Amino acid sequence: MNIYEIAERCGVSIATVSRVINGSGPVGKATKEKVLRVIEETGFTPNSFARGLNFNSMRLIGVLCTDFGDPFYSQAIAYLEEQLRSRGFHMLLVCTGYTVEGKKRGLVELVNKNVDAIVLIGTVFKENDNSHIEETARKVPVFMVNSMLDAYNVYSVKCDEERAAEQAVSALLDAGYRKPLYLHSQTWYGNADKIRGYRQALKNAGHSVDEDLIVKVDSSADAVVMLLAERLETDKDAFDAVFTANDVLAAYALKALEHLGVSKPIIGFNNSPLAELVTPELSSVDNMLAAMCHTIADRVVDVLHGKQPPKTTILSGSLIRRATF
């Protein structure tokens, strides 16, 4: 079933059928109705590859994501899908894991599919070589959610995580805590910002930074429990509060402290749904994920329409206080 078949059944030319499908030219009222009726009857849908070939677009946006395990990412995907779809685009989703190799492959695959644009969710490693992203951006516009890269054809929307982390840690210090532990599990881009914020907060309060309180740990319940147990065993006042790079780590920390029978304030990051699922509910830094995704979708549409939106947008996050602090 193709456009020729429809044209024949209607006794018109394919040009006319195409015109009624796309509303791309004048068509007599009777003819239009007939064509629509036949399309309806036959259930014909125009071949999207042929249209793609003509328009050089299938209205597909490639989305590269690191890890679904973290609710932050699945939440981002959810927002993005909604926003993009409401703007008439569909989402080609590729999940690559944390390796740079995986990301490179993912980018190549998306470029090969001729997507209209590529959205990266939190995937830039600041210290690392990002030439693969720059190279990709020479072929198709790249949009970054929650990370930033200043390069040709790359647009970024991020939360000022440094400031947000600073605010969170300052809140702990203001409340009288002196030794906040900072837990993270991946040394990616955003992490450096959070650490800077952490340091700044201590500095602002006139404290020095104990480097032993900035620690990387595997993202698993066991690892966190072990780590905290070990620290507290050595010195039961080794730290007096916990700040984590994401809510999953915060949940593990919560579990660990409960396990150890001690209670200390905990602040997570991302303000994901998880924060309200655990008991007690997690205080967490809101990094404005929904707003970021909304903004990115706007940027995508703008760029594809030939407009030139700002290359970087920075939103401010804020601490959402719940039961753990």
Which residues lie near DNA (CB under 7 A)? Answer: 2-4, 11-19, 21-22, 24-32, 44, 46-47, 50-51, 53-56
Beta strands in 185-305 (DSSP E): 214-216, 241-244, 266-269, 283-286
> Which neighbouring-strand residues pair with 157?
145, 313
- Footprint on this chain of a second copy (rule: CB under 8 A): 43, 45-50, 52-53, 56, 58, 60, 68-69, 71, 74-75, 77-78, 81-82, 85, 90-95, 109, 111-114, 135, 139, 221, 248, 251-252, 254-255, 258-259, 273-274, 276-279, 281
Return the number of the residue (4 or 68) whose C-beta is nearest DNA.
4
By a kind-dependent CB cut-off of 5 to 8 A, residue 139 interacts, out of DNA, a second copy, none, with a second copy
Closer Cβ to DNA, 17 or 171, answer by number: 17
Q: Which of DNA, a second copy, none lies near 258, with the C-beta cut-off 5 to 8 A by kind?
A: a second copy
Minimum CB–partner distance for residue 260 and a second copy (Å) = 12
Which partner in a second copy, DNA, none is near 4 (CB below 5 to 8 A by kind)?
DNA
Q: What is the DSSP string of 66-103?
A: S-SSSHHHHHHHHHHHHHHHHTT-EEEEEE--S-HHHH
**Interaction partner, residue 238 (a second copy, DNA, none; CB < 5-8 Å by kind):** none
Provide the CA 149 distance to its chain's centre, in angstroms: 15
Give the largest CA-CA distance in the chain.
88
- Shortest distance, CB of residue 104 to DNA, whole angstroms? 21
Angle, CA 84 vertex, CA 80 and CA 87 arms, to 5°: 150
Q: How far is CA 136 from the centre of its chain?
A: 18
Q: Please, what is the minimum distance in Å from the beta carbon of residue 94 to a second copy?
A: 7
| Of residues 50 and 262, the one with the C-beta less far from a second copy | 50
CA distances from 82 to 13, 67, 76, 179, 293 (A): 38, 19, 10, 41, 9
**Residue 21 contacts which entry, DNA, a second copy, none (Cβ below 5-8 A, type-dependent):** DNA
The torsion angles phi and psi of 187, rounded to 5 degrees, stand at -90, 60
Min dist. Cβ of residue 291 to a second copy (A)? 17
Q: 150: helix, coil or strand?
A: coil
22 interface partner picked from DNA, a second copy, none, CB below 5 to 8 A per type:
DNA
Q: Could you please report the per-residue DSSP string of 169-181?
A: HHHHHHTT---EE
93 touches, from a second copy, DNA, none (C-beta below 5 to 8 Å by class)? a second copy
Nearer to a second copy, 110 or 195 (CB): 110
Residues near 148 by Cβ (< 8 Å), separated by ≥ 6?
A: 124, 156, 158, 189, 312
Structure tokens at 202: 């201590």
User: In angstroms, what is the minimal distance from the CB of 306 to DNA?
Assistant: 16
* Cβ at position 136, least distance to DNA in Å: 18
